[in-house]
Structure 1
Amino acid sequence: MADSDKVFGGSIPKFYDTLMVPLIFQAYADDMAARVAAFSPGAVLETAAGSGVVTRALAPRLSAGARYVVTDLNQPMLDYAASRQGPDGRIEWQQADALRLPFEDASFDVVCCQFGAMFFPDRIAGYAEARRVLKPGGRLVFSVWDRIEDNAFADEVTNAVATVFPSDPPRFLARTPHGYHDIAQIRDDVSRAGFTDIVIDTRAEVSRAPSARDVATAYCQGTPLRNEIEARDASLLQLATDRAAEEIASRHGEGPVAGKIQAHVIVAAG
């Protein structure tokens, strides 16, 4: 993973939340919130919370006395998430590294993480840290994207942007968000962290947007793909976005567009 893969600064948080969240994250956030709430947890830790889509979905489902600690490694994203959340005395916002959690052992009933594990430089260590802070009988609930070929828009954007930089194509989407999809590897990593009861559910959803332009802008300007493009030639960001929009429109039409997305949802205990 390149260093730029972890940089969610500048205008990225706003583009990410306003464009990427409704495009690909909301449906999985609602699903994760329902799964976590079903355990009736008294204390929840969310890691890699991003712009807060799971937080906004989960908080209303938790009990009045629940403790909800929301963390992210990236302070600009955490600040943006907090700004989007209404006043809620149950929520604590804290910058934290999921691989070195600043919490006592056995502090939480559930640790949840939506689409963050792909960014962990040591995933086994991240899962082990989650297990350390879980109470006996607690659960780790997390999700990762399936391979890029099963996620239509991400695949099409990657291929389109490559035409702008044919000698050095930006590969952020394939390398990181969609780079950790092998179920056997995921199960083995979680098992090596000490979990014994591991259930993996592969879920397909439909990604929808008002236009191909919205999709292209979301991916090219609302994710660290933007960092890769600008590192090569910042003046070509708009051209790369245009190429992506053209590719998506050619495949999905000029009006509202829809494409398949697919992810793995993992629930681990023990």
Structure 2
Amino acid sequence: MGESNLNQDKNKFHYEKLYANYNIKNILHWINNLDEFLASATTTETSWFALYQRDFKNRIKGKKVLEMGCGDCVNAAVMAALGAEVYANDIANSSGKIVEALNEAYKFEFPIRFVSGDFLLNKLDSKKFDFVVGKAFLHHLELPVEEQFLKETARLLKEDGEARFFEPAVNSKLLDELRWYIPVKGRPSKFYKTDFAQWKKNDPHPDRSFSSTHFENAGKKFFKEVEIIPVGTLERFSRFFKWGSQKNNFKKWALKTETKLPRIINKTLTRSQLIIYRDPFKELD
């Protein structure tokens, strides 16, 4: 547990700093133009495209939703603006400050409730939530902690509730190795050994499996129904375009087209995934 606590401290420090003094101006603009924002985000951005599949936008109205790792609170604000009763959890207290600012600036039907600190220690009421969601949350957890988290998620969901997690996918070892050599914003190429080693040292993500098979098997311990939807097989090539309309048009085409690919290709080559867990085992109460 010593290493787990060290990783959690690293995560907390990283995100406290990242979201300190966060300006909510953009969030307010987006939720005041909600239909326009979602029309763009859910057709061009992998996380929004994934999480909002299967009519999620309309299904959450009036429902209790717990978001894990709410971070900058953009998704929490969007869900609340859509009429959901949102509970937003994060280990970073700076996320709570964002929630306070949003509730002061915007009249949500249900003000967002911030759940501070370690989710596993909060002990919320059983069968309280219609949805538990997370955007790029599970992959921050070491595997033993993830197992505890999924068990707790199953306990919190109503019998007909649903958990949705957007996560990176690594189903090809070759592609996974190659990606480290391609520099992205904030991460140097592995060709530059010293810079890469320094980045890796400060990276808050633990070394663990991100495979679809792993998430499927992990969920089957606590849920009767597991569904994995690959996202980003073709969209991954958008990084070769410069920022602008051409890039967004490619993303829109790619996300729509890749859903028609054979599953064996899509699963192997995808860079991310929507993980859906339904029907929690009753004996977890």
When normalised by structure 1's length, the TM-score is: 0.64
Provide the residue aligned with 1:256 in structure 2. Answer: 243
**Deviation of 1:166 (Å):** 5.5
Provide the residue aligned with 2:200 in structure 1. Answer: 171
**Deviation of 1:45 (Å):** 1.1
- Structure 2 CA distance for aligned equivalents of residues 263 and 95 of structure 1: 28
CA contact (8 A) 1:33 1:54 kept: no
Provide the residue aligned with 2:214 in structure 1. Answer: 185
- Structure 1 CA distance for aligned equivalents of residues 202 and 181 of structure 2: 7
- Structure 2 CA distance for aligned equivalents of residues 202 and 143 of structure 1: 10
**Deviation of 1:149 (Å):** 3.6
Q: Which amino acid aligns with 2:271?
A: Q
Provide the residue aligned with 2:162 in structure 1. Answer: 139
CA deviation vs aligned residue, 1:213-250 (integer Å, no higher than 9, x gap): xxxxxxxxxxxxxxxxxxxxxxxxxxxxxxxxxxxxxx
Bigger relative contact order (CA 8 A; separation at least 6): 1
Provide the residue aligned with 1:28 in structure 2. Answer: 47
2:97 to 79, 93, 101: 79
Give the unaligned 5+ runs of structure 1.
210-250
Q: Which amino acid aligns with 1:256?
A: W
- Structure 2 CA distance for aligned equivalents of residues 13 and 113 of structure 1: 17
2:147 to 121, 124, 129: 124
What secondary structure sits across from 2:47 in the alignment? Answer: helix
CA contact (8 A) 2:125 2:156 kept: yes
1:53 aligns to 2:74 (yes or no): yes
**What is the correspondence of 1:91-170 to structure 2 with a 5 Å cutoff?**
91-121=112-142, 122-147=145-170, 149=176, 155-157=182-184, 158-160=187-189, 163=192, 165=194, 168-170=197-199
Provide the residue aligned with 2:225 in structure 1. Answer: 197
**Deviation of 1:114 (Å):** 1.1
Provide the residue aligned with 2:261 in structure 1. Answer: none
Q: In structure 2, do the counterparts of structure 1 residues 170 and 47 end up closer, same or farther at CA, with 3 Å as the change threshold?
A: same
CA contact (8 A) 1:47 1:112 kept: yes
- Structure 2 CA distance for aligned equivalents of residues 177 and 82 of structure 1: 30
Q: In structure 2, do the counterparts of structure 1 residues 185 and 95 end up closer, same or farther at CA, with 3 Å as the change threshold?
A: same
Q: Which amino acid aligns with 1:28?
A: S
CA contact (8 A) 1:195 1:269 kept: yes
**Deviation of 1:113 (Å):** 1.0
When normalised by structure 2's length, the TM-score is: 0.61
**Deviation of 1:145 (Å):** 1.1
What secondary structure sits across from 2:124 in the alignment? Answer: coil
**Deviation of 1:168 (Å):** 3.6
What secondary structure sits across from 2:94 in the alignment? Answer: helix
CA deviation vs aligned residue, 1:176-200 (integer Å, no higher than 9, x gap): 28854211111111112x1110000
Instruction: Provide runs of 4+ in structure 1 moved above 4 Å.
Output: 14-18, 150-155, 172-175, 205-209, 257-261
Over the matched positions of the two proteins, sequence identity in percent amounts to 14
CA deviation vs aligned residue, 1:108-153 (integer Å, no higher than 9, x gap): 1111111111122411111111111111111111111123849969
CA contact (8 A) 2:10 2:204 kept: no
What is the aligned length? 220
CA deviation vs aligned residue, 1:80-113 (integer Å, no higher than 9, x gap): 3543563325121221423234311111111111
**Deviation of 1:60 (Å):** 2.6
Provide the residue aligned with 1:237 in structure 2. Answer: none
Give the unaligned 5+ runs of structure 2.
28-40, 252-269, 280-285
**Deviation of 1:15 (Å):** 10
Q: Which amino acid aligns with 2:141?
A: F
Q: Which amino acid aligns with 2:161?
A: G
Q: Which amino acid aligns with 2:183?
A: E
Q: In structure 2, do the counterparts of structure 1 residues 171 and 83 end up closer, same or farther at CA, with 3 Å as the change threshold?
A: same
